[in-house]
Structures are given as structure tokens and as C-alpha cells.
Structure 1
Amino acid sequence: MAEHPIQGLMNVTMEKIHQMVDSNTIIGKPITTEDGITILPVSKVSFGFASGGTDFNGKNAANKDLFGGGSGAGVNIQPVAFLVIKDGCVRTIQLSDSSNSIDRALTMLPELVEKLTALVKKDDKAPAEEPKAE
């Protein structure tokens, strides 16, 4: 069975969308700075497409193989955050306005845990460094 023209139209549209949107679009390629920090951009990707067509069925035999159709696609790529990797620790930096208190708290949680861990390690070392009285 011969391929219908709408199939070719849809295949070309999907191939073009595939070229525009891949995994590197959502989680970008890593950027490494001179001091060893790695930054990964994170984006929100939305896309859609539509195709349509019609066969002309007229009384004239010359019109029997005519086809009319079209397709279109739209892609929206919006950066939303960066993952910052430094010394084995990962930190998220959001670009959107966190007007919600819960979102703000969740965004600050990794930094808070990092500071508390550093504080606990500092307190553990403090008694060992005190000189012994003779």
C-alpha cells in the first residue's frame, strides 16, 4: 500500500521537532569553570504540532490524485534553574520567582543542610584542638 501524503507531512514535522528538542535541551551541556565548578542549565520545554489534509474527490478524473494539507509546530523553551556542582555538593539555583513560601523553603533546604553539616564538623574539631592543662 502506498504511503498517503499526510504520513510524509507528519513524518517531516516530527523529524524537525526531534531536531529542536532533545535531552540536551532540557538538561543542558555542562559548563565547567576554572575553579572546578560545574554548572548544568535546566529548562522547561513545551511543544505541540498539528497536521491536516484532505483529498480532492471531484467528478473530474484529473482531480482524483490531488491532495491538500499542511502542518505546523511550536516549541517553547524556558530556562528554569541551574544545577551547580562544587566539591561533590549539588545546589539548585532557581530562576523563577518563588512567591510560595513552601517553594522558597525547599529551595533553601540544601544550602541549610550544607551549613549545618559544616557547623557540626566545626564543633567536632573544636574540643580536640584545645590544649591540655598539665
Structure 2
Amino acid sequence: MDHPIQGLMQTAMSNLREMVDVNTIIGDPVETPDGTVILPVSKVGFGFAAGGSQFEGGDAHGQGQGDLPFGGGSGGGVSITPIGFLIVHGNNVRLLSADHQNQLYDRLIDLAPAMLERIQSLFSKQKASDPPVM
């Protein structure tokens, strides 16, 4: 016969397993009309605890009555925190952070290649328009 604590633990774990799956961490993709795919990304933490105690039973004369009384309980919890969105467009992949503190830095890093291209094009246009020095 299984110990009662096993039943408590199995119930808690099966309920947690139903709540947390891969679609909880990386959500279902959403495709926009222009072909961009957006994937929500979350951080998931979960845990559970179970415990119990067994008491020695007996009648008025101190004689055991077979099964010992059992008292126990279990509980669990899940924490889901959104991290951001993975945005896939063509060959470009970006992470749009949901954390407002890092959003400025992420945006600057995303814009850096475009800014460098613009600066290079300005210098090349300036060189082409300068008259030759004699």
C-alpha cells in the first residue's frame, strides 16, 4: 500500500505539470500580414512542498489498532513573468524587452548598424561632392 504522502505529492506535481508547458515559456507565434512572426517569451518559476506526520494510535489500553493516523498537506505555486517578445522578420531577429529599464539600451543597440550606415553614406556623399584640390 502506498503511503498517503505519495498521493499528495503526485496530485501536486500533476497539477503543476498541467499548468506549465513549453507554450507557457515560449508562447504561440503570431504572424502579421507582412510576414513578421512575434513570439512572446516568459520566465517561469514553480515549486511545491509536501509534508505530513504520522501518529501512534492506540485504544484505551495502549493496544495498537493497525493503521496509524496520518495528517499531511501539500501545496504548489507558479510564477510567470513576461520577459519580452522575439520578433522575426526575414533574416532579422530582435528581442523587444518588456523590462523598461533595459529598453533604452536594447533600442540603441538595435539602431547602431543603421546609424553607422547613414554616417558612412554621408561621408561618401561629401567626398563625391567636394571639388578636387589642385
Alignment TM-score > 0.5, same fold: yes
C-alpha change, 1:97 and 1:84, in structure 2 (3 Å) is same
Are the equivalent residues in 2 in contact too, given 1:42–1:81 (CA < 8 A)?
yes
- Residue correspondences, number: 120
Q: Distance in 1 between matches of 2:21 and 2:54?
A: 34
The 5-angstrom pairing of residues 21-100 of structure 1 reads 21-60=20-59, 61-62=64-65, 64-98=67-101
Q: Distance in 1 between matches of 2:80 and 2:107?
A: 22
Given that 2:38 and 2:85 are in contact with CA atoms closer than 8 Å, whether structure 1 keeps it comes out as: yes
Note if contact 1:56-1:64 (Cα within 8 Å) is conserved in structure 2: no
TM-score by length of 2: 0.74
In structure 2, the CA distance between the partners of 1:118 and 1:8, relative to structure 1 (3 Å rule), is: farther
**CA distance in structure 2 between the partners assigned to 1:91 and 1:69 by the alignment:** 48
Unaligned runs of 5+ in 1: 128-134
| Partner in structure 2 of residue 109 of structure 1 | 109
SS of 2:100 mapped into structure 1: coil
What residue ranges of structure 2 are gaps of 5+ in the alignment?
Answer: 126-134
Kindly name which structure, 1 or 2, has the bigger radius of gyration based on alpha carbons. Answer: 2
Percent pairwise identity: 42
